Amino acid sequence: MSLPDRIDPRPPRRIYRWDLDKTYLQTDFESLRDLFRTAFQKAHEKVAIPGASALIRELAEQGDSRLCIVSGSPKQMRAVLEEKLKLDGIQWDEFVLKDNVGNLLRGRFRALRGQVGYKLPAILESRVHAPVEAEEVLFGDDAEADAFIYSLYADLIAGRVDERVLSQVLEAGGVYPDDAARVQEAWKKIPIADPVRRIFIHLDKLTPPAHFTPYGPRVVPIFNYFQAALVLLADGHLTAPQVLKIAVEMVQTAGHNIITLSNSFQDLLRRGLPLQQAAIALSQAMEGPNALLKAMRPMPDILAAFSKRLAALGTQPPPPRVQAVDYVSLISHALPRTHKARTLKPPT
């Protein structure tokens, strides 16, 4: 019996799409000085946002997922960014960076800061090659137009946005004709499906979570990655022990403590996230004599209190995951040059 020349990996069941700057990496480029410092940082000098690398590693544990990174960082930073990811134990399947030198040489100055004409075609072209049944979770931040772009992407491939609206959005977003053509071409190749389960927006600029209400409950603003882990536990992407590992790492390496984590949990409850079963699963996971979990005391008592509070409120049906989004009206507010977020303190 002859053996095959190769064994292809099984198709991914889940795809996780990540931005880098202000989503995975703590990055400052508000001034020219910050921009130069970021550009010349070595890999070991770059710092991941607490919990981000642990979350990515735990999501990869199932072995049937893909990590796709689309970053606005320039292509010239590929070597140092790849080295940083390797230092953090991150393995990726796709890694797309922005061709800012090419944009400069071609006089495409809008494209230097523009995100709609960069990220939207990139993730649509990636989806062309994905199994139609593969679910997706996307991670971005509030420093750019990630919530807008990711939501538009999700509704395009689900058939909830038509060509007329798409054309209006691309024009309003200042997208160059060749990038608009890439969007149209890739979109038409993708079978209609509804794969995007969650869109997480890291609140680097501390934008009030209510700012994202027009995008519906699929978009979840987060102050930290413990909050993302809790929602992903409720959605079935993580187990309770995995969430606890992420929490322990945040406590031991990033200055978090039980109070900040419990306040993060309560913040999600106040916003109506359906976390009752997640609280129960975490309580059960902490009942054993696991030495790793000693760092999390007195979290079991906090979780027990959460469970009682949720039980007193009664079982409420979760809100619909998708709602109609008026992208034509939202784009003027979504672009960073026209929207300045009001400062809000994170839960402490």
Average pLDDT over residues 200-224: 96
* Residue 327, pLDDT above cutoff 50: yes
Would the pLDDT of 111 be above 70? no
- Predicted local distance difference test score (pLDDT) of residue 313: 45
Q: Tokens 């979760």 belong to which residue?
A: 318
- Give the alpha-carbon dihedral of 185, 191, 195, 199, to 10 degrees: 10
50-64, 260-274, 331-345: which range is least confident on average?
Answer: 331-345
Question: Which amino acid appears at position 172 of this protein?
Answer: A
Give the pLDDT mean for 148-164: 96
Taking a C-beta distance cutoff of 8 angstroms, is the pair 11, 62 a contact?
A: no
Average pLDDT over residues 39-50: 87
Q: Starting from the edge strand earliest in sequence, which strands make up the sheet with 135-141, in order?
A: 94-98, 65-74, 14-18, 135-141, 196-202, 219-222
* Mean pLDDT, the chain, integer: 84
Tokens found for residue 180: 């608009």
Instruction: Decide which of 3.40.50.150, 3.40.50.1000, 3.40.50.450, 3.30.1360.120 is the CATH code for 14-216+323-339.
Output: 3.40.50.1000
180 has a pLDDT exceeding 90: yes
Q: Where exactly are the structural domains of the chain?
A: 14-216+323-339, 226-311
**Residue 228, pLDDT score:** 98
What number of other Cβ atoms are within 10 A of residue 108's Cβ?
Answer: 17
Question: In Å, what is the CA distance from 164 to each residue of 160, 168, 184?
Answer: 12, 6, 11
Q: Please give the average per-residue pLDDT across 83-96, as a whole number.
A: 96
pLDDT at residue 288 tops 80: no
Burial of residue 154 (CB within 10 Å: 0-12, 13-18, 19+) is buried
pLDDT at 114: 73
Question: Rounded to an integer, what is the distance from CA 58 to the centroid of its chain?
Answer: 15
CA 89 to chain centre: 18
Give me the residue label for tokens 């890694």.
Answer: 95
- Which residue, 108, 150, 154, is CA-closest to 322? 154
